[in-house]
Amino acid sequence: MNGFIFRNPESPDFFDKVKRTAQLLTSTPLRNIWIGIDSANPATHEEMRGFKGVIKGIEKALTVFHQFNLYPTANLGINRNWAGTGNNLCHHGIASGDRGMADEYQKDIRHGVRTFLSLVRQLGFTLVNFCYRTEAATVSLRRRPGLCFYQRR
């Protein structure tokens, strides 16, 4: 679901707009709704999406959706900002065979998962999905600075 509808949660017509959307969705056979969350840090997510306040809008909209028995899935995007902008291991990458960096990277991943799940639980999500770039997309991006990827040998 496009975050565009969750922006401006303080506007007087926000709940009416979300209610109309929920009514429309319940009138269709559609049953799976994904709402993308790109970072466990709301400010980072909003900067990436370009919609200030959208996380608060998602939180408010979920209460309305639940009234209509709609339970959207949080689609958590694993990217270099997924745990906020402070997870620098992705920005530097891991040298092959560097066990210390690999262990630190795993700690960073675990922290990111916990932080992400805590955020979406607080927002009111009951379902979660993790997504990441596929190999085809990753191959074309490997030369870009800051890209974090794991290559199996």
Strands 127-131 and 73-77, bridge-based pairing: parallel
| Phi–psi pair at 99, nearest 5 degrees | -65, -40
When pLDDT is averaged across residues 116-123 and rounded to a whole number, the result is 93
For residue 46, pLDDT beyond 60: yes
Task: Determine which of 28-37, 84-93, 124-133 has the lowest per-residue pLDDT on average.
Answer: 84-93
| pLDDT given for residue 93 in this prediction | 55
| 54-111 confidence digits (pLDDT tens) | 999 999 999 999 999 999 999 887 777 766 655 544 545 555 566 677 777 778 778 8
With left for phi above 0 and alpha for psi between -120 and 50, is residue 134 left, alpha or beta? beta
pLDDT range class, residue 48, cuts 50, 70, 90: confident
**Higher-confidence position of 146 and 74:** 74
| pLDDT given for residue 41 in this prediction | 87
Percent of the chain with pLDDT over 70: 73
What is the separation of C-alpha 123 from the centre of its chain, rounded to a whole number of angstroms?
12
Average pLDDT, the chain: 78
